[in-house]
Amino acid sequence: MIQLFGRSILPIQLVSWIFALACIWLVWKLAERVTDTVPAWAPVLASASSIWLFHYAIGLRAIAAPVFLGAFALLLDRVERGAHRKIALLCGAVLGLSIYAYTSARPRIPSVLTANASSQSYPGTPAC
């Protein structure tokens, strides 16, 4: 990217904006999985207007955290619905990449496992 755009902050900003758009798409897909009553524009508008998205869109490490969290949540939902074993392995790989990409994501593991266990204990409770 540096050879294409030169030595400026533009390559970092472009990659950050790609991650930001991926985050908006993941929030939209998560909202579709949770409920059918929410119109499609609501999660897109809510995530696109989030102050956190604009705050995190200036660095690669910080903007990677919500993308990996959204991807992990979508894959975990597919695994809980009885997806193929390869999806479960991909879910674990995304969780590992999130820790590698952003080390502050380490507390995510116990919180996700606790939420997952509580949702299995109480069948009416949605998973994380």
Which amino acid type is present at position 85? Answer: R
Closest CA relative to residue 102, chosen from 44, 63, 47, 61? 61
CB-based burial label for 21 (10 Å; 0-12, 13-18, 19+): middle
Q: Which residue has the tokens 């409770």?
A: 125
Closest CA relative to residue 76, chosen from 36, 46, 117, 23? 117
Q: Per-residue pLDDT tens, the chain, 128 aa: give them.
A: 567 767 777 777 788 888 888 888 988 998 888 888 888 888 888 888 877 666 655 556 677 778 888 888 888 888 888 778 888 888 888 888 877 776 655 666 666 666 666 655 555 555 55
Closest CA relative to residue 73, chosen from 120, 46, 108, 104? 108
Instruction: For residue 63, give both structure tokens.
Output: 């903007």
Q: What is the pTM of this model?
A: 0.67
Per domain, the residue ranges of the chain are: 2-121
